[in-house]
A = this chain, B = another copy of it.
Amino acid sequence: MSEPEEHVVLDRDDLEAWAALATMLEWLPAALDAGLRRNANLTHFEYGILYALADAPDHTLRMSVLANYANSSLTRLSRAAARLETMGLMHRAPDPSDGRYTLATLTKLGLEKFQHATPGHVQTVHQLILDPLTQAQRRQLREISRRITRAIRDEEGWQPATSRDRSG
């Protein structure tokens, strides 16, 4: 009755690490979104799409490739693309050389939006994540994140995207 879990427990250190991570997991995405929403009216996910397109040759990518970059299911990307399209930030069209593919292209407005949003977002990342840490911690954060990410991939055999990027 005092301890709700009777079988297996996390020891004190583990519990603290887990609790701290869980709290961060709860708040950080919302905080990141909030910054972007305030200064560009974009979600972090949408920003990621603009980022990938801005970075691509001709500001153009196939939807499926874009879904990979954004760690997203094709469904989710499709919906987001529809939103960004109505905002005039991007534009979809069938690939003229192979009608099965859809090419997403950043519009001029979309590029401007991205460029407008970026400095503030970088600043947010600094304020919330990098500046509070020592340089050693930043390196640890990278390593820790990678290990956890790898564990997820390994354990789950998991892929969120429709993926199977066989480009070509």
Are B142 and A5 touching (Cβ within 8 A)? no
Q: Which residues of B contact A129 (CB under 8 A)?
A: 17-18, 21, 148, 151
A16 to B142, CA, bound (A): 7
At the interface, yes or no: A2 with Cβ under 8 Å from chain B? yes
Interface-lining segment among A85-93, A97-105, A155-163: A155-163
* Interface size range on A against B: 35 or more
The reply to whether A139 and B17 form a contact with Cβ atoms under 8 Å apart is yes
Report copies per complex: 2
A7 to B151, CA, bound (A): 36
- 18 A-B pairs in the complex with CB atoms less than 8 angstroms apart: A4-B55, A4-B118, A5-B119, A8-B123, A10-B126, A14-B130, A17-B142, A18-B129, A21-B145, A23-B145, A23-B149, A24-B145, A27-B158, A128-B155, A129-B148, A131-B151, A132-B151, A133-B148
A residues in contact (CB < 8 Å) with B: 1-2, 4-10, 13-14, 16-18, 20-21, 23-31, 34, 51, 54-55, 71, 114-115, 118-119, 122-123, 125-133, 135, 137-152, 155-156, 158, 160
